[in-house]
Structure 1
Amino acid sequence: MSEAPVVRFEVVEGIGVITVDYPPVNALGPGVSDGIVAAVDQGNADPAVQAMVLMGAGRSFIAGADIRRFGKPRPPSPRRSYDALDASGKPVVAAIHGYALGGGLENALACQYRIAVPSAKVGLPEVLIGILPGGGGTQRLPRLIGAKPALEMIVSGRHVPAEEAKALGILDALVAGKDLRSEAIAFAKGIIGKPVRRISTMPPAKAEPGLFEAMRKSIARKARNQTAPYHCIAAVEAATTQEFAEGMATERRLFSELENAPEAKALRYAFFAEREIARIPFLPKDLALPEIRTAAVVGAGTMGGGIAMSFADHGFPVKLLDVSPDSLARGLQRIRDNYAVSVKRGSLTQAQMDERFPLIEPVETYEAIADCDVVIEAVFERLDVKQEVFAKLDAVMKPEAVLLTNTSAIDIDKIAGATQRPQMVAGAHFFAPANVMKLLEVVEGPRTAPAVLAATMKLGRAIGKISGYAGNCDGFVANRSRIYFTMEQNLMVEEGALPEQIDRVMVEFGYPMGPFAVNDMSGLDVSYLTRRRRLAEDPNYRMLPIPDRLVESGRKGQKTGAGWYRYEKGDRTPHVDPEVHRIIKEVAAEQGIEQRPFTDEEVLRRLLFAGLNEACKIIEEDKALRASDIDVMWLNGFGFPRYRGGLMFWADSIGAQEIYNQIAAWHQRYGDRWRPSELLRQIAESGGQLKDAKSPRLR
């Protein structure tokens, strides 16, 4: 029995209908481009066909290229689908639903007309995987809509809603009918006999003076160390100075320079890692999951409010509980203000705010949330406080409710022990600000039911998060792998490095902010309390006297106007403060620590190797499933530069053997905190790659 073709052609009332059917999203996988070429040729050769329609089956038009094929040898194609569509003697209408992204939009641009349903989205997001549109997108889009809007779309990689695409001139019409196929056939009939429009025959696009240099300057900070955004600008600039064929040659040359560059490889790796993290192979595939339609959040502070917004932003009704009326009122006002800021910035419409804010219902009693399907506790980070909350939840929540804690480090089982249903308890560790950060760490307690774990992973994805599995241990996966990074940044300060040097090194590496500036933003008192808790549990726990001294002297970060840096009122710009330098020298002298200068390379390696070594220990202890999961957590939880792939992927650019040797040397010099991971040793000796490491359960 032969397989169904990935591209079908049929004639309906004189219109040739070309349908791409390559599930799940009609990516330009093997045979798709050739199938489109063959269908266009068939339509042009058939006297009964007067015009054609290109559309997608299933849930999308053409969602883009098959990313798995980038960087690999591909057989040369005498004609690409873009070329065949552009050269068609009979007009072709692209009928778009779902997504027309990357190569999908480029195929649509090669057609003579484009229509779409109002819910469709279009875009050229290739820059997000380190390349540029390679099917004529950088040449056709500027000619069609102008250099400035095309440049913004291509350099940002954003998805453009159909209504905006129509206003820009990308689309010729929006069709509101339920049957896109019928609407497209009718539209195609209406263009029969009209002159065939080809974007490729349009003159070079016009650009206002200084447009491209202004764009280069505007992206300088965000695009630091990257090539793709600048090549995108160069390609669009070519569309304003070169004829179409010459511009296409420029696009191909720039694309070829990017496709196999380290930046593109890292970004492709990150793309696939973010999809792999959703898989928990040891969970049964036929699990009956608890249904989650309504939610509650306990705690109306900054974190609780952000979690509530995450639900409301995705259409979930959510009750926000705080037993203090004043705290509840402040929390609601904070949410309202956050939405208002988004409206002012233009990232949210007033209509969207008016739709989302009422989904958050303030309540003051536990009984008011008893019927919710899931409840997330987001109160103060103290075990006794959380146990008290869970005891109350256990008393009122319906038996099938999922009970989640937002703790960032506390033992899930100790929290679950406050209930009579520990199997319904799991961790749901959001990252601050919860309504912005994409990562959700889903923590399996020793008694968490598999269905609860799976339901929580699914819930995270439903509210727009990247859900990642973590085993139950102090700090779980993300924060635990970060603990020694944080430890080293403070110990290097004791030894003579200054906060501003460490921050500069990490920003130059690609972080949006340095770690000390981040500490000031989140509040130094948060980690101070965590250290106190760990000291109470372990008298040998290594405290950090310099940040402790800062907190105890009232320097808690931005909220007090001073932390590692000084802040002017109403301004979050960090200013180097000589008082901090004085405290550093004072504490180092008290501790008998001799200070010395640090090279930038030692700063970088001390920080990242510390996190990497602990990450290997987490994997070997079965608390994380894959090295790529840890990479995703660092990318989406800590601002690790995406174009470097992630901590473990980046480490492979140095090599496990070199890293192991350095850590072993530091172990001899600094003691047990640098004890090399056994997994790291094994990978180094075998010549393997760190990014491929897996937990014992997955080997």
Structure 2
Amino acid sequence: MELDVFVKVVDVLTQNLQVSAGKLQIKSVLKRSSQSPELNVRKSVGDLTRRTSVCPAGRHVTAAEALQLGIIDEVTDHNAVDAAVRLAQSVAGKPLDARRISTYPCPRPPDSDVVFEKVMQEVRRDARGAIAPVTCVQAVRAAVALPYAKGMEREKELFATLFTSGQARALQYYFFAQRAVGRWSTPSGARWDTSKPRPVRKAAVIGLGTMGRGITVSLAQAGLSVVAVETQEKQLLAAKQAVTGMLERGAKRRGAPLVLDQIKYGRSVQAAADVDLVIEAVFEDMALKKSIFQQLSRLCKPGTLLCTNTSGLDIDELASQTQSPELVVGMHFFAPAHVMKLLEVVHGPRSSPEAVATAMQLGKKMGKVSVAVGNCRCFVGNRMLRPYVMQAYFLLEEGATPEQVDQVLEDFGFPMGVFKMSDLSGLDVAWRMRKAEGLVLPASAGESARIREGSRYSPLGDLICEQGRFGQKTGRGWYQYDKPGGRVAKPDPWLHGFLEEYQTRHGLAARRIDHQEVLERCLYALINEGFQILQDGIAAGPEDIDVIYVLGYGWPRHRGGPMFFAGQVGLDKVLQRLEHYHQVHPDVPALKPCSLLRRLAASGNPPISRWREILQKPRSQL
């Protein structure tokens, strides 16, 4: 309120002054004298690099830095309104023409072109296809190079281009999609506005590995009392130390009080007997999870919600181990759990509306964006990830390299490509899951090594793991690293030789694969699975899928999400390209267009806002 008042005082009385409270953080779009921050470069052009670093990133600056940059006129540690009034009174009746930015001379340093070129290269690299940061640099450059009036006109042109761009529409869509997912519904008829959540004051976390530690921190920071259970003494001690460190760093960063006393540790599931909600976060093993749910069902007080952090196991199967299956839901956190904003809340057919509402509300309390999804193998995010990753493997079999595939995906806007992502998360994690599903066969399997259940399969990931190459943790994976735990990925000659040997062994002829094929096969296979998920009723609408992929899987925000992107490309074009690739690769079911995609394309490529309406229409049985 004080900030609103002082801005009005400044605008009305002086039109050219701004005062800032000393601890205030000002976003870089805050305007001085109703002029854009790009033009403040005219006040001081001595450090163009610093000034161009603020606008493209949209970063916040402290009041002190804003004063130094010339965005504001004064910083105060006292009442901002009083300071603004004093400043306004000090200039009342005095001419202010000399303060008008349009009258400032704009000396141009001789090396400004070099500076701008360097900045532009850095911004293009970091923007990963986003046009707004690049346009910001162009606007700043125009402010320096052109007379005031022409600089303003150029900025107006640039802004108009952004305002009408597809990326602007994508960002606007995503903004509202994040809000739409809070208005959840389930196939059973449960809804966000008719389902009342239970109060949760005390929660338990079972299993203090990487995920359990992050979940414990999230719950404690949300103000809950937490019982953290780990049966292994060594693991428990390590977890205590890790959780304490995360909470201390978080408290310092947020300027919030430390909440260590809200957590109690135990070595027995019995410690969770009197909590309101339990989140199981043990190893991804169904037998182990079943055993824990059986124990919890016997031990916990009546009405306790039992949640699992599984990333893809059957929620219904776990619920069947309990006396109250209606109180079981999935709460799929993303690593690191105390940082990542996404939470998939997984409901089974027997999950009560109250249980779903409680998990959704708890996610919101922890600062997460909660998305309600149905129960199926791997839920939404990981289910769509599978065909995406498998297409990348197939591309390697056919002649691409990990560097090529990753570069195409990173140019599209992903923070890292599929192979760098796999190295980061650990190749052994997915390998262990494939083993559990019976997908990993011995090397002696011959041609059948590339076939599973009548469909094409690539064992490349399995073979890499058999070499002890698990990614960054071992210093070798799809790339090589300077040492185990290294972060800088480098092309690996061994891997290239391995791929050539693999192709020879299986009679595969390497061919040239272009940028378009890499992008279309990876993205359209993922999108096709998204349409199947909508058709199956696992996600209620395209917004759910898009929010999951932007927040959980690095889909570039400026492209809206995979389903929005499909609509922007044109559903008929996506359909046509999938038909083409499926004709070339008939043994890859993921490339066979989903019937919902065909239906939407036949409906004339309706806008994404109408997809839910079409989804809900009964189809003719004729």
Q: Which residue of 1 aligns with 2:171?
A: 267
Counterparts of 1:167 and 1:438 in 2: how far apart (Å)?
A: 34
- Flag structure 2 segments of 5+ consecutive residues without an equivalent: 441-450, 618-622
What does the per-residue CA deviation read over 1:373-423, in whole Å, with 9 as the maximum and x for residues that have no partner? 332221111111111222232233333433221111111111122221222
Counterparts of 2:274 and 2:32 in 1: how far apart (Å)?
A: 50
Q: Which residue of 2 aligns with 1:297?
A: 205
1:688 Cα deviation from its structure 2 partner: 1.4
Counterparts of 1:250 and 1:295 in 2: how far apart (Å)?
A: 56
Counterparts of 1:165 and 1:355 in 2: how far apart (Å)?
A: 30
Aligned length: 588
Q: Which residue of 1 aligns with 2:421?
A: 518
Q: Does 1:694 align with 2:612?
A: yes
1:286 Cα deviation from its structure 2 partner: 4.0
Q: Which residue of 2 aligns with 1:682?
A: 599
Preserved CA contact (<8 Å) 1:204 1:241: no
Counterparts of 2:153 and 2:33 in 1: how far apart (Å)?
A: 10
Amino acid of the structure 1 residue aligned with 2:605: G
Q: Which residue of 2 aligns with 1:48?
A: none
Q: Alpha carbons of 1:225 and 1:285: their partners in 2 closer, same or farther (altered >3 Å)?
A: closer
Q: Out of 670, 673, 677, which is 2:586 matched to?
A: 670
Q: Alpha carbons of 1:500 and 1:54: their partners in 2 closer, same or farther (altered >3 Å)?
A: closer
Counterparts of 2:616 and 2:576 in 1: how far apart (Å)?
A: 27
Q: Out of 137, 158, 162, which is 1:258 matched to?
A: 162
Equivalent runs, 1:81-230 vs 2, <5 Å: 88=12, 90-91=13-14, 112-115=17-20, 121-124=25-28, 136-139=35-38, 151-160=52-61, 170=72, 172=74, 184=81, 188=85, 191-192=88-89, 194-195=91-92, 200-201=100-101, 203=104, 212-230=116-134
1:618 Cα deviation from its structure 2 partner: 0.6
Counterparts of 2:106 and 2:467 in 1: how far apart (Å)?
A: 60
Counterparts of 1:520 and 1:289 in 2: how far apart (Å)?
A: 39
Q: Does 1:487 align with 2:487?
A: no
Counterparts of 1:486 and 1:351 in 2: how far apart (Å)?
A: 37
Q: Which residue of 2 aligns with 1:609?
A: 524
SS of aligned partner of 1:597: coil
Counterparts of 1:19 and 1:240 in 2: how far apart (Å)?
A: 31
Amino acid of the structure 1 residue aligned with 2:37: T
**Greater alpha carbon shift after TM alignment, 627-636 vs 361-370:** 361-370
1:175 Cα deviation from its structure 2 partner: 7.0
Amino acid of the structure 2 residue aligned with 1:137: S
Equivalent runs, 1:392-403 vs 2, <5 Å: 392-403=295-306
Amino acid of the structure 1 residue aligned with 2:17: Q
Q: Which residue of 1 aligns with 2:447?
A: none
Aligned CA-pair RMSD: 3.8
Preserved CA contact (<8 Å) 1:138 1:239: no
What does the per-residue CA deviation read over 1:62-83, in whole Å, with 9 as the maximum and x for residues that have no partner? xxxxxxxxxxxxxxxxxxxxxx
Counterparts of 2:141 and 2:426 in 1: how far apart (Å)?
A: 45
**Greater alpha carbon shift after TM alignment, 609-618 vs 508-517:** 508-517
Counterparts of 2:291 and 2:409 in 1: how far apart (Å)?
A: 40
What does the per-residue CA deviation read over 1:410-464, in whole Å, with 9 as the maximum and x for residues that have no partner? 1111112222122221111112222332221111111111122122222222222
Q: Alpha carbons of 1:236 and 1:500: their partners in 2 closer, same or farther (altered >3 Å)?
A: closer
SS of aligned partner of 2:372: strand
Equivalent runs, 1:37-76 vs 2, <5 Å: none
Provide the TM-score with structure 1 as the length reference: 0.74
What does the per-residue CA deviation read over 1:494-530, in whole Å, with 9 as the maximum and x for residues that have no partner? 2332222211221222222110111111111211122
Q: Which residue of 1 aligns with 2:135?
A: 231
Q: Alpha carbons of 1:164 and 1:370: their partners in 2 closer, same or farther (altered >3 Å)?
A: farther
SS of aligned partner of 1:511: coil
Q: Out of 540, 550, 561, which is 2:464 matched to?
A: 550
Preserved CA contact (<8 Å) 2:203 2:227: yes
Amino acid of the structure 2 residue aligned with 1:670: P
Q: Which residue of 1 aligns with 2:287?
A: 384
Counterparts of 2:380 and 2:32 in 1: how far apart (Å)?
A: 36
Counterparts of 1:511 and 1:112 in 2: how far apart (Å)?
A: 41
1:477 Cα deviation from its structure 2 partner: 1.0
What does the per-residue CA deviation read over 1:566-617, in whole Å, with 9 as the maximum and x for residues that have no partner? 2221522222223323433444444454443322211111111111111111
Preserved CA contact (<8 Å) 1:431 1:439: yes
What does the per-residue CA deviation read over 1:35-93, in whole Å, with 9 as the maximum and x for residues that have no partner? xxxxxxxxxxxxxxxxx85569xxxxxxxxxxxxxxxxxxxxxxxxxxxx75x4x34xx
Amino acid of the structure 2 residue aligned with 1:274: Q
What does the per-residue CA deviation read over 1:536-568, in whole Å, with 9 as the maximum and x for residues that have no partner? 899728653221111122112211222222222
**Greater alpha carbon shift after TM alignment, 311-320 vs 435-444:** 311-320
1:355 Cα deviation from its structure 2 partner: 2.2
Equivalent runs, 1:622-641 vs 2, <5 Å: 622-641=537-556
Q: Does 1:431 align with 2:334?
A: yes
What does the per-residue CA deviation read over 1:465-509, in whole Å, with 9 as the maximum and x for residues that have no partner? 221121111111111122111121112222332222211221222
- Higher RCO (CA 8 Å, separation ≥ 6 residues): 2
SS of aligned partner of 1:219: helix
SS of aligned partner of 2:205: strand
Q: Alpha carbons of 1:255 and 1:426: their partners in 2 closer, same or farther (altered >3 Å)?
A: same
Amino acid of the structure 1 residue aligned with 2:612: K
Q: Which residue of 1 aligns with 2:267?
A: 364
SS of aligned partner of 2:355: helix
Q: Alpha carbons of 1:598 and 1:373: their partners in 2 closer, same or farther (altered >3 Å)?
A: same
SS of aligned partner of 1:355: coil
Q: Does 1:475 align with 2:378?
A: yes
Amino acid of the structure 2 residue aligned with 1:623: I
- Flag structure 1 segments of 5+ consecutive residues without an equivalent: 1-16, 21-51, 57-84, 92-109, 127-131, 178-182
Counterparts of 2:52 and 2:366 in 1: how far apart (Å)?
A: 31
1:213 Cα deviation from its structure 2 partner: 4.7
Aligned sequence identity (%): 34
Q: Alpha carbons of 1:525 and 1:207: their partners in 2 closer, same or farther (altered >3 Å)?
A: farther
SS of aligned partner of 2:302: coil
Equivalent runs, 1:573-592 vs 2, <5 Å: 573-592=488-507
